[in-house]
Amino acid sequence: MNQLEQLKQFTTVVADTGDFQSIKAYTPRDATTNPSLILKAVQKPEYRPLLEQAVRDFPALSTADVIDRVLIAFGVEILKIIPGRVSTEIDASLSFDTEANIAKGRELIALYEAAGVERERVLIKIASTWEGIRAAEVLERDGIHCNMTLLFALPQAAACGEAGAQLISPFVGRIYDWYKKATGIEYSGADDPGVQSVKRIYNYYRKFGYKTEVMGASFRNVSQIVELAGCDLLTISPDLLQKMADTNALVERKLTAAEAVAPIDKVSIDEKTFRFMMNEDAMATEKLAEGIRAFCADSGKLKQMISGMR
């Protein structure tokens, strides 16, 4: 078996792309999207019609609402290809507004249901800010399942677990990027700080019995993926999926619930503790802020494209 086939024995493979052809090629169970991936996709001739149709069909809607229709259109098409779930992201500009996240999550699910998609097949992606986590807590009680994104540190993961979020997406590659820049070290294998962060979170969840799924995300190389074999899910870009499909190098299970016995203390999370722990973690604070800015910037580019088509 190639590496991708081996990985699928231990971990649910998720495609991190808005490209339908890539999703078909690698047969993942789930797929994730974000504003950056959708922006990239709609610039391709084969996906441009989805954007054009949304602009044409909803002339009276605001630009932001048209973007939501584009996201839903991509999600509906992706769900025709995969057997599992698609993740659709709330506008990152709402990251510090609990009520706005709740309202937008409900709105997106209503749009999916109007398109004939059951809510169980959709994960609403929300930034792992304190406000976003509180929104997820409410949405989960409504039966609207959430994928907590832009997650870089244990206090975020602990708070998401306490809130009952369906899934978290710790960002391996962006953690690696920060430490590489800070230290000048080319980390690899088990020494990679991003890999270590996900392992710590996975072990924490298993040790304390949280049901929230852990999905490693934002990979820079195959080594990071292989080191997390056994994680609940891994969302992987098409280029890395192809690299894994092209080699038969051994993939061994590295994470198991039975071995989650690391000496980790339970974190008691309230708002003050959360904010202080994040403040003490320069990497997590900087990467969270940077990620929100980047997603906002790409949403802005989508808005400009739509405005130019009206």
Write out the catalytic residue numbers: 125
d(CA 138, CA 165): 10
Instruction: Give alpha helix (H) positions in the chain.
Output: 3-7, 20-26, 35-42, 48-57, 63-79, 98-114, 130-141, 154-163, 172-183, 193-208, 222-227, 238-245, 271-280, 282-309
Q: What are phi and psi of 184, to 5 degrees?
A: 75, 10
Q: What angle do CA 226, 161, 110 make, to 5 degrees?
A: 95
H or E element in which residue 149 lies: strand 146-151
Check if the beta carbon of residue 199 is closer than 8 Å to that of residue 255. yes
How many whole angstroms separate alpha carbon 159 and alpha carbon 182? 27
